[in-house]
Amino acid sequence: MSDYSTLGAFSTGGASALNGDIIQKLKDAESKSIVDPLDKKLDDWQLESDKMVEINEKLDAFYNSIKTFDLFSSSSNIFEQVSASTTGESVIFDALDVTKLKEGTMTVEVTQLAQKDVYQTNTFSDPTVQIDGGDDDGDKITIKIDTDGDGDIDDDDDDAIEFSTEDKTYEELAEEINNNSNFSASIEKVSDDEYRLVIKSAQEGKALQITEDGVDLGLGEDDNHILEAQNLQATVDGVEYDVSSNTITVDGNLKITGVAEGTSTISVSKDTSVIQPAIEELAKTYNDLVSTIDGAIYSEDSVISDPSSLRTLVSDIKQAFYKTVGDDEESLFGFGISFDYHGSMVVDSTKLGSALVTNLDDIKSLFLGTADDKGVGTQLKEYIDFARFPGGIIDNYTDHMTERKTKLEEEKEDTVKKLDIKYDTMARQFAAYGALITQMESSFSGLKMTIQQSIASK
C-alpha cells in the first residue's frame, strides 16, 4: 500500500491543499465501497468453511454408526455379533474372527500343560570372567534337541549343536547360545553374590540333552535339570490333543490356551443385546446431523451458499429409512422407529426391544437386505460413500467452495492493485499540480509587488 503522508508537506499557499490526506480519504472511501464487500465475502466463506467442517464431523459420526448395519461390512455387522463366556479356570480363549464362531457349548479338560526343558549351571560369582576349565581347544558343551517332538532324543533324528567354551565368559557363552533359535539362554542373579546360566528350549514340549567336554558347569547333573519338557494334553469335546504348545485352534477359528489343569466350559451364543443400543446411537447421530444442517441453513445469519445441496443430502438419507420388505411391506416404523414433527428420529425403546425378540429376522432384513435388494444400512453406507466420491454432493460442494475462494481472492487482489495504480497516479498528478500552483503563485507575487511599487512612485 502506498504512503501519501508526505505529499504536499513542503507546499505553501494554495498548493498545500493538494496533500496526501485528501488522496488517502478518497482512496479509503472507494476502498470501502469496492474492497470491503470482498473482505466480507471472504469472511463469510471462512464461516461457511467452519460450518462445513462441523457438518462433516456430524456426517462422520452418522457414517460410523451406520457401518455396523452394512451387509458388506469388512468387519462383522451388528447382527452377527456373538458373545462367549467360560466357566472354570483351566483355559482362556480368543477368536480369529468372531463372526465365524459357532454357537454352542464346548467342554475342555486339561490334564497336563506343555512346558519347556530347562537346565541351569552351578553357581558362579562373576558372569564376566572366563569359564573355569574353558582353556583348551575342544572344550565345549553340546546340546541335542528333540526335533520331531516325540519326546525322545537319539542319534538318528535329533540335531546336536556344539558351543565352544574356549576363552569365553559366561556372558559370551549365553549370547552364543541365544543366537540359535532353538534355545534361549540367560544369566540369572540367584542371590546377592551368585549367578547361574539358565538354558531353555525355545518351544514347549521340545526336550534337550546337554553334555560337557573339558568343562564342568554342572549341566549334566540331575539336580540342575530343573524342568522337563512335556506336551499339552487335553480333550476338547472328547477329542484328544497331545501337542507341544499350550495353544490349540479348534473349528478353524477358536484359539484355546491352557493355563492350568482342570475342566472348563466355553459357551458361544448370538449377542442381540448390542443391536438396540446401536440403533439408538444411529438415531442420535442422525438427529445431530440434521440439527446441524438445519441450523446452518435456516439461521438468520446463515452463510451457506448452496443450501439446496444440503437439503438434498438430508432428504436422501431420510428417504432410505422408509424402505419396506415382504408382502406385508413392513418398515422400521412398525418396530418402534419414527420421525416427529420436527423431523427428528424417535426410538420407542420398549417397542423396539420387543420386536428384536419376536421379529429379529425382519429387522435384520430391513437394515442389511441382500445383494440384490439392499437394506437401509447398506444403502446409506453406500450413499455417503458416493456423496464423498468425486462428483458426489459433498465432493462437489467442497470443490465449489475452493473455486469460489480462489476467485474472491483473485478479485480482491486485482481490485486492490487497480486502486493502488489509480491513487498512485493521482498522487503524482497532485505533486505536479502543487509545483505548478506554487510556481504560479510565486510569479503572481512578484508581479503584484512590481505593480504596488509602480503605484507608490507616482
Tens of pLDDT, residue by residue over 289-310, are 999 999 999 988 899 999 999 9
* Three-point CA angle 78, 102, 71, nearest 5°: 30
Residue 181 lies in a domain: yes
Claim to verify: residue 199 and residue 124 sit in the same structural domain: yes
**Beta bridge partner(s), residue 201:** 183
Q: In which domain, by residue range, is 299 found?
A: 38-77+274-388
The CA-atom distances, in angstroms, between 444 and each of 13, 14, 75, 436, 447 are 12, 13, 96, 12, 5
In a domain, 196, yes or no: yes
Q: Is the dihedral of CA 251, 206, 90, 263 positive or negative?
A: positive
Whether residue 151 is found in the same domain as residue 181: yes
Domain final residue pick, 270, 299, 333: 270
Radius of gyration of the chain (CA): 44
Q: Does a structural domain hold residue 8?
A: no
pLDDT of residue 439: 58
**Position 317 in a domain:** yes
Q: What's the pLDDT at 252?
A: 73
Rounded Cα gap, residues 327 and 404, in angstroms: 50
Residue 86 and residue 108 in contact, taking contact as beta carbons nearer than 8 Å: no
Do 128 and 264 have their domain in common? no
Residue 43 lies in a domain: yes
pLDDT of the residue at 13: 45
Residues 86 and 71 in one domain: no
Q: Which of 111, 114, 94 is nearest to 251 (CA)?
A: 94
Q: Quick one: 95 and 48 in the same domain?
A: no
Burial class (CB within 10 angstroms; exposed 0-12, middle 13-18, buried 19+) of 179: exposed
Same domain, 238 and 367: no
* pTM of the complete model beyond 0.75: no
Residue 395 inside a domain? The answer is: no
Mean pLDDT by 10 residues, the chain (458 residues): 51 49 81 90 93 95 94 80 86 78 89 95 93 77 80 64 91 94 94 95 90 90 93 94 92 87 90 91 96 93 92 94 82 92 92 92 92 92 94 92 93 90 77 60 61 65
* pLDDT at residue 437, as a whole number: 56
Q: In this structure, are 443 and 379 located in the same domain? A: no
Same domain, residue pair 262 and 350:
no
Asked if 246 and 255 touch (Cβ cutoff 8 Å), the reply is no
239-259 pLDDT, tens digit each = 999 998 999 988 877 889 999
pLDDT at 20: 64
Instruction: Examine the domain organization and report whether 149 and 102 are in the same domain.
Output: no
Q: What is the distance between the alpha carbons of residues 27 and 259, in angstroms, rounded to a whole number? A: 85
- The pLDDT, as a whole number, for residue 74 is 66
Cβ–Cβ under 8 Å, residues 264 and 91: yes
| Domain stops at, among 388, 415, 442 | 388
The rounded distance, in Å, linking the Cα atoms of 42 and 341 is 37
Per the CB < 8 A criterion, the answer to whether 307 and 395 are in contact is no
CA dist., res. 72 & res. 81, Å (int): 15
Q: What phi, psi does 254 have (nearest 5°)? A: -90, 120
Cell 425378540 belongs to 357
> Do 175 and 312 share a domain, yes or no?
no
Count of positions (residues) in the chain: 458
Count of CB atoms situated within 10 Å of the CB of 69: 26
Rounded to whole angstroms, the Cα distance separating 449 from 437 reads 18
394 assigned to some structural domain: no
Residue 139: what pLDDT? 87
Residue with cell string 474372527: 97
Look-up of cell digits 455417503: 384
Q: Distance between CA atoms of 195 and 126, rounded to whole angstroms?
A: 7
pLDDT score at 449: 65
Q: Residue 209's closest CA among 288, 281, 290, 153?
A: 153
* Cell numbers representing residue 167 in the block: 576363552
Domain end: 227, 251, 286, which one?
Answer: 227
The three-point CA angle 146-150-151 to 5° equals 65
pLDDT at position 132, please? 81
Q: Are 375 and 368 in contact (CB under 8 A)?
A: yes
6 falls within a domain: no
Is residue 124 located within the same domain as residue 186? yes
Q: Which backbone phi and psi does 241 adopt, to 5 degrees?
A: -125, 135
Same structural domain, 278 and 384: yes
The number of domains in the chain is 4
